[in-house]
Amino acid sequence: MPAKKLKEFLDRNQIKYVSIHHSTAYTSQEIAALTHIPGKELAKTVMVKLDGKLAMAVIPASHMVDFNALKNAADAGSAQLATESEFKSLFPDCETGAMPPFGNLYGMTVYASLAMAQDEQITFNAGTHHELIRLAYKDFERLTQPVVAGFSKVARGVAA
């Protein structure tokens, strides 16, 4: 079952979504392989710090964050990866590393990669390591109001 907070939020906003169950997997590339979803179509949530403040960067599973581009997109002086200890307690209803890309539910800004915005749908972890949610990208964008920018690039050794 998706994180209760997320499910209630989607239902309250009358969003149509599909839950996809899979065996336990921890990396976005492993999830993509298990569910037969191309890595470029599966969103991963990367926790970042922009000028010391936590934010979510939502990128395709086959990509990595370009921190210089994210820093510029956020008009920040610094951009870096957040550590698990810095964000774990903010998501009590989620398994660590399986946070859905709805930072607005947790009081933080969401940055969505331009590469994600080009797809009709977005598929992402639903708060666990064994369930995904797929919904229309336009619904995700309407609900989270992300800052959309080109701050991700295909990871080395990963098929685009």
The whole domain housing 9 covers 4-154
Give me the number of domains the chain comprises. Answer: 1
Structure token digits, residue 39: 């890595």
Residue 53 lies in a domain: yes
Residue 107 lies in a domain: yes
Residue 109 lies in a domain: yes
pLDDT of residue 159: 53
Name every residue whose Cβ is closer than 8 Å to that of residue 39 and which is 6 or more positions away in sequence.
28, 29, 32, 60, 61, 62, 158, 159
Question: What predicted TM-score, i.e. pTM, was given to this entire model?
Answer: 0.90
Span 125-142, pLDDT tens digits: 999 889 999 999 999 999
Residue 143 lies in a domain: yes
Residue 159 lies in a domain: no
Residue 121 lies in a domain: yes
Look at the block and give the residue holding tokens 């086959």.
62
Q: Is residue 4 pLDDT above 80, yes or no? A: no
Residue 160 lies in a domain: no
Q: Is residue 34 pLDDT above 60, yes or no? A: yes
Read off the CATH number of the domain in which 12 is found.
3.90.960.10
Span 65-113, pLDDT tens digits: 999 999 999 999 999 999 999 999 999 889 988 999 999 999 999 999 9
* Short-list 60, 55, 46, CA closest to 123: 60
Residue 22 lies in a domain: yes
